[in-house]
Amino acid sequence: MRADVQQVADGAYLVHGSNTNWVILTEGDAVTLVDTGYPGDREQLLASLAELGSSPEAVEAVLITHAHNDHLGSAEYLRGGYGMPVYLHEAEVPHARREFLHQVSVGTVVKNGWRPGVLPWAVHAIRSGGTAHVPVASPQAFPAPGALDLPGRPVPVHTPGHTDGHSAFHLPDRGVLISGDALVSGHPTSRAKGPQLLPDMFHHERPRAVASLDVLATLEADLLLPGHGPVHRGPVREAVLQARERAL
């Protein structure tokens, strides 16, 4: 299956999987992979690396914005099969091990089934492994504060609310923000286009998710690579203002 790979900056690629995105950062032959899509996206994930002339063996680490199945899907496959570390915020490490699950429940989805797009999204999510049990056996907390010593030099930014340990990744030298689900530009269950928060049912603590927008607004970047939706170009602070207005 061919992957939809879009180069958005030097050494930065946004890949659209099935209703979710991941990011590939390159420096020479070395790669950092940010998120991994649904379990059912694995073929596309591997194809996206191959399209860039790369492979799992070149991935130095997998960074996970948060441990929902549509972002964590192939993390354990890569860790167990190829030996690269899987890094998350320390508060998200037990979530990745599945000591608990902060994810929208089937009951909540059913209650919201009348909303446009929810039922088709839910069917797709289930078929793609959205309810599968995909824990990471040995996830690790980010090894040190500040920029990680990995291709792209990504800087983790704690943005709780969607989950307790959700993290975005800032690439100040490239003017890029990988926002995960803290700030998106679209979703199958949303009629809105452009910068926005995900619908309320997806957030573990919506007030904290709204508050985390203030953290993102302080970052200098003009390319937003979200966990869902297309790349957004323009100052991140302006994208945050749009999302805040829609969240009122």
pLDDT digits (tens, 9 = 90+) for 26-41: 999 999 999 999 999 9
From 71-75, 92-96, 113-117, 176-180, the region with the lowest mean pLDDT:
113-117
User: Which residues, in sequence order, are CB contacts of 49 under 8 Å at separation 6+?
Assistant: 24, 31, 33, 55, 56, 58, 59
Mean pLDDT of 143-155: 96
Res. 1 pLDDT band, cuts 50 70 90:
low
pLDDT digits (tens, 9 = 90+) for 39-48: 999 999 999 9
Residue 25, Cβ density class (10 Å: 0-12 exposed, 13-18 middle, ≥19 buried) = buried
**Is 90's pLDDT higher than 90?**
yes
Nearest to 17 by CA among 2, 34, 32, 33: 2
Give dist(CA 112, CA 207) in Å, integer.
20
Cβ-based neighbour number of residue 29 at 10 Å: 11
User: What pLDDT is attached to residue 105?
Assistant: 84
pLDDT value of position 115: 87
